[in-house]
Each structure stands twice: as C-alpha cells, then as structure tokens.
C-alpha cells in the first residue's frame, strides 16, 4: 500500500497510458473535511479558481480535483 507524501492526507495510485503507475498525494494532513458547511463553500470557491486556471481542468486525477471530490464540490458550493 502506498503512503502519502509528507504533509499530505491521502494517496491515489493511477496507471498512465504508457502502463506505468503514478502516485498522487493530495489533501492536507490533519484537516477535517466538512462538506455542506460554510467552510466547505469557502474551500470550493477557492479551489474552483485553481481549477479554472489549470492547463487541464477536467483531469480526474489532479490533486485539486481529488480534493474537490472529497469535499463534494459542485461549482463554487459544497453539498452534503
């Protein structure tokens, strides 16, 4: 089982098109995820700006999109 990088909470192992495996560490270690709250809405609004500025905003394996999925972000809002 893969371990996340220092300071990160989770890790996802993905296989690339060339057949190699790649580890993606994401999420702040020790942070509580609270979807559907004011704090969740604030996180989703901030990360939405990051998503808009990225080169590949719809990449499901980017650390930002993996964290947004964990926070249950829909646009700039966090749902329960």
Q: Is the pLDDT of residue 11 over 90?
A: yes
Question: For residues 2 and 23, is the Cβ–Cβ distance under 8 A?
Answer: yes
50 exposure class (CB count in 10 Å sphere: 0-12, 13-18, 19+): middle
Give the global pTM.
Answer: 0.89
Domain boundaries, the chain: 34-80
Average pLDDT, the chain: 95
pLDDT number for residue 58 = 94
CA trace torsion 7, 4, 12, 31 (10° rounding) = -30
- pLDDT score at 43: 97
Residue 52: both structure tokens together: 């808009």
Q: Which residues contact 58 (CB under 8 A, 6 or more apart)?
A: 65
At 48-75, the pLDDT tens digits run 999 999 999 999 999 999 999 999 999 9
């Amino acid at each position: 089982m893969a371990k996340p990088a220092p300071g990160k909470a989770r890790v996802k192992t993905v296989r690339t098109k060339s057949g190699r495996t790649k580890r993606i560490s994401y999420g702040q270690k020790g942070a509580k995820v609270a979807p559907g709250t004011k704090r969740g809405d604030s996180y989703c609004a901030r990360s939405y700006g990051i998503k808009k500025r990225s080169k590949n905003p719809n990449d499901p394996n980017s650390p930002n999109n993996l964290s947004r999925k964990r926070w249950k972000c829909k646009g700039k809002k966090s749902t329960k």
